[in-house]
Amino acid sequence: MKLRIIYDKDLCIGNKACHAIDPKHFIEAEEKVNLKDAVKEKNIQVLEGNYYTEEAEKFIEAAKACPVNAIGIIDEETEEEIVTTKVKGEEARRVKANYDDTKEFVIDPAGYFLIRINREEKKIEVASCNEKNKIELITYGEKPIDIYQTILNKEKVNIRKDHAAYLGRELQKAYIALKNDLEYVQDEEIILNK
Ligand code: SF4
């Protein structure tokens, strides 16, 4: 398969998802990556080649994993953009957000979370409680992403989507409070100016 791979290093935020999938071609370069053997023009790196299916699939998987669309892939025979770096939004619907917590809130039958800051250990702690008020899991960590990924994907705590969004929101508040020595009370706004 003849492919043209285009990598825009300016867009790269260095999360290295591409490297994790295809370390042979996306080489670590300090905080970002470089596309191995690519021709460089300023921060654009271009690589062209004829690849076996398995190698081509790795390129495509790596490009699709990029959260900022920094990697584009073009089929050189058909000129089809297999993975595009352009965000297309011309046909997107635009809606004004609206939600009334007092009328639309739905309790998650799976249970609830108790979230607090442990200042001595500089950690955030989350107790996952079932519907019978029994704590089934205590998860602690420093960064919101570590905690919610552990709860949702590793420990497979099965909750509603809006409850997962709530967890992320509360964890970010707790993180800001911990970092800035502010009071954190679950479900309340953080008071920024003490
Ligand atoms: S996945 Fe995208 S943002 Fe992450 S390192 Fe690779 S190119 Fe950069």
Q: Which pLDDT score is estimated for 87?
A: 82
**pLDDT band for position 194 (cuts 50, 70, 90):** low
Give a three-class secondary structure readout of 122-141: CEEEEEEECCCCCEEEEEEE
Sign for the pseudo-dihedral over CA of 114, 166, 159, 154: negative
The pTM for the full model equals 0.68
Mean pLDDT of 95-105: 95
Instruction: Quote the ligand 1 centre to 143 CA distance (angstroms).
Output: 21
Which atom of ligand 1 has the smallest separation from the CA of 16? 5
Note the pLDDT tens digit of each residue in 154-168.
Answer: 999 999 999 999 999
Residue closest by Cα to atom 1 of ligand 1: 66
Report all structural domains of the chain as residue ranges with CATH numbers, in order of start.
2-83 (3.30.70.20), 101-179 (no CATH)
- pLDDT over threshold 80, residue 148: yes
Which atom of ligand 1 has the smallest separation from the CA of 14? 5
Q: Which pLDDT score is estimated for 31?
A: 93
Cα→Cα distances 63→15, 22, 174, Å: 13, 9, 33
Task: Judge if the beta carbon of residue 66 lies within 6 A of ligand 1.
Answer: yes
Q: Which pLDDT score is estimated for 192?
A: 85
Q: Which pLDDT score is estimated for 110?
A: 95
Q: Which pLDDT score is estimated for 5?
A: 97
Task: Judge if the beta carbon of residue 83 lies within 6 A of ligand 1.
Answer: no
What DSSP string describes 15-80? --HHHHH-TTTEEEETTEEEETT-EEETTEEEEEEE--HHHHHHHHHHHHH-TT--EEEEETTT--
Report which residue type is found at 131: E
% of the chain with per-residue pLDDT over 70: 99
Mean pLDDT of 112-137: 97
Cα→Cα distances 76→47, 52, 87, 162, Å: 11, 14, 21, 43
Backbone angles phi, psi at 165, to 5 degrees: -65, -40
% of the chain with per-residue pLDDT over 90: 93
**pLDDT band for position 89 (cuts 50, 70, 90):** confident
Q: Which pLDDT score is estimated for 30?
A: 92
Task: Judge if the beta carbon of residue 63 lies within 6 A of ligand 1.
Answer: no
Dihedral, 151, 153, 155, 156 alpha carbons, nearest 10: 100
Note the pLDDT tens digit of each residue in 19-64.
Answer: 999 999 999 999 999 999 999 988 999 999 999 999 999 999 999 9
Which atom of ligand 1 has the smallest separation from the CA of 17? 1
